[in-house]
Structure 1
Amino acid sequence: MARHDSNTIIKFADDTTVVGLITNNDETAYREEVRDLAVWGKDNNLSLNVVKTKEMIVDYRKRRTEHAPILIDGAVVEQVESFKFLGVHITNKLEWTKQTNTVVKRARQSLFPLRRLKRFGMGPQILKKLYSCTIETGCITVWYGNCSASDRKALQRVVRTAQYITGAKLPAIQDLYTRRYQRKALRIVTDSSHPCHRLFSLLPHGKQYRSDKSRSKR
């Protein structure tokens, strides 16, 4: 659990991420959180791999300032422009071209086995199931909503190619995203312990959820 309200600690298996909100250039809480995590690790006979540890700074100000690097046990943590978090490539601009390029490349490689299996006489329904298992993208609810038009077209071209190979009707990427997004939102709404549960609030009439307004797509 994070010590400061401006920080969040995300843990998954042996992967730990510290997310800090820095306001008015005051990094004290964020740096204390990282230091406390390193101390906790030592106290519990665990050591952080500084070589694999990365720091990414998201800063949209016109006048960006230099950020002093984080130190763990005297070693400098590398600052990067992007990193792979639980299979998703995140950049400090919150753009998703790198992620979509990776997905497209992996999907195109998976098209070859589909072609081979079709030549061996496998039917459309089985090919469709194989497509769903190997090509349909994971974590699409995280990144697809903010993809550029060109990235979406590249993804959809893969779907059209797979549809031609399998001979079966395949869902468009947009439809796949919408279905999974709605399913994810429903789980969050019904789970009061979910960190994003508080983001969903009903309007006074109780029939629709409030839509948060923002000045930019981010």
Structure 2
Amino acid sequence: MKVMERLVLLGLGLDLWFLGVQLDNKLEWSTNTDAVYKKAMSRLYFLRRLGSFSVCSRMLHMFYQSVMASTISFAVVCWGAGIKAKDANRLNKLIKKA
């Protein structure tokens, strides 16, 4: 498990990463949203690859729910209300792609 604690070095705060949730030194969630987006995009690639192998739709739905949706919604209680509209739209577009 990777744990990065907040450090202050020469008066500059560094980013915090704890239990897979990232928070920057300005207390904004953009860093976390970018990481979630990148993870979900890589899982979307695997979902599309599975579809190209003629996997049944039930298995594709199961993969989406267990792998992709869980990646997007992990710790949404913490960061969901605090993200910017731009970041929320970016994640919504990703969900619609799947």
- Does the TM-score normalized on the shorter chain lie above 0.5? yes
3-state SS in 2 of match to 1:131: helix
Cα RMSD between the aligned structures?
Answer: 2.3
Q: Does 1:55 align with 2:7?
A: yes
Partner of 1:118: 51
- How many residue pairs match? The answer is 93
Residue pairs, 1:22-61, within 5 angstroms: 54-55=6-7
- SS of the aligned residue for 1:152 comes to helix
Q: Cα distance 1:140–1:124, how it changes in 2: closer, same or farther (>3 A)? A: same
Unmatched segments (≥5 aa) in structure 1: 1-12, 16-51, 57-65, 68-78, 163-218
TM-superposed CA distance for 1:53, in Å, is: 5.4
| Runs of at least 4 residues off by over 3 Å | none
Alpha-carbon distance between aligned partners in 2 of 1:108 and 1:135, rounded to the nearest angstrom: 9
Residue 89 of structure 1 aligns to a residue in which SS?
strand
More helix by share: 2
What is the CA-CA distance between 1:133 and the residue it aligns to?
1.7
1:159 — aligned with what?
95
The alignment-based identity, stated in percent, is 28
1:14-68 Cα offsets, whole Å, 9 max, x none, are: x6xxxxxxxxxxxxxxxxxxxxxxxxxxxxxxxxxxxx65426xxxxxxxxx86x
Distance 1:143 1:53, change over 3 A: closer
User: Secondary structure of the residue that 2:60 maps to in structure 1?
Assistant: helix
Q: Which amino acid aligns with 2:38?
A: K
Structure with bigger gyration radius: 1
Distance in 2 (CA, whole Å) between partners of 1:142 and 1:53 is 17
